[in-house]
Amino acid sequence: MSEAMIGYDTRFAIETSPGSGMYVELEEVFEVTPPSSTISKVDVTSFKSPGRRREFIPGLTENGAASLNMNFVPGSASDLRIEELRASGEVLSMRITYPNGVTVTFDGFVEEYSPAVPVDDRLTASVSLSVTGEIAIADPRPPENQVPPHIMGTAQVGQQLSVWPGIWSAVGALTYQWRVAGSPVAGATGATFTPQVAHIGDPITVAVTSTNSQGSETSISAATANVVAA
């Protein structure tokens, strides 16, 4: 049976700062072109080259470039991050995670950032990345939470809460389970949650689970203040 797969759930993340080992995923990416290495050739032809033919030996590895295309959301966290990196020229570690958990990690910098704004279609942007140094390809490994999730909003009846999922290594598909006073709320499995009257006086947490082909891990947010009436 074929093990072919589609690209859905591929992820592209950039290190928060040089050497931190912590990556933040770019949002709205729909196409990624990984680095493609080539070996340069060095001409070593001499007066005595056999058969009057040129001779070559392998030279250095050239990393080429990587690129990605994304939905362009002006002012979004991803837009501001890429624009910041384009302006600074900072070299950071970048990571592609394929749907089966295999990762491609490389150092690079943003060479070009080109939004496109058509009159009657979605806004998109292309990002060209210059790759430097070694490219590391790693087998799948289970997700590991590095920074716990965080609930945003006010714990008040009728006020929607949302969750920032935290920072993960080898991140996989994310699922959510909201809890009131430590107990799971039936059906509350989205990225947002709105407290009800029955929740007054209780704190709210959310469990975020990341799953890939090698396993899963769950991280629970800090609790909100006790829910208050509207």
pLDDT at position 119 is 97
| Domains of the chain, residue spans | 11-43+50-138, 144-220
* Least confident stretch, 19-23, 30-34, 77-81, 103-107: 19-23
pLDDT at position 64 is 83
pLDDT at position 209 is 96
Q: Is 181 left (phi over 0), alpha (psi -120 to 50) or beta?
A: left
pLDDT at position 1 is 72
Over residues 150-196, the pLDDT tens digits come to 999 999 999 999 999 998 877 778 999 999 999 999 999 999 999 99
Residue 99 amino acid letter: P
Confidence of residue 20 (pLDDT cuts 50, 70, 90): confident
Has domain 144-220 been given CATH number 3.30.70.330? no
Q: In the chain, what is the straight-line distance between the N-terminal and C-terminal CA atoms, in Å?
A: 57
pLDDT at position 212 is 79
pLDDT at position 90 is 95
Q: Would you say the CATH fold of 144-220 matches that of 11-43+50-138?
A: no
Burial letters 122-132, b for 16+ CB under 10 A, else e: eebbebbbbbe
pLDDT at position 179 is 98
Beta pairing, strands 192-193 & 183-184: unpaired
Asked if pLDDT for residue 3 goes beyond 80, the answer is: no
Mean predicted lDDT score pLDDT of the chain: 93
Average pLDDT over residues 105-130: 97
Specify the CATH architecture of the domain 11-43+50-138: Irregular (4.10)
pTM above 0.75, yes or no: no
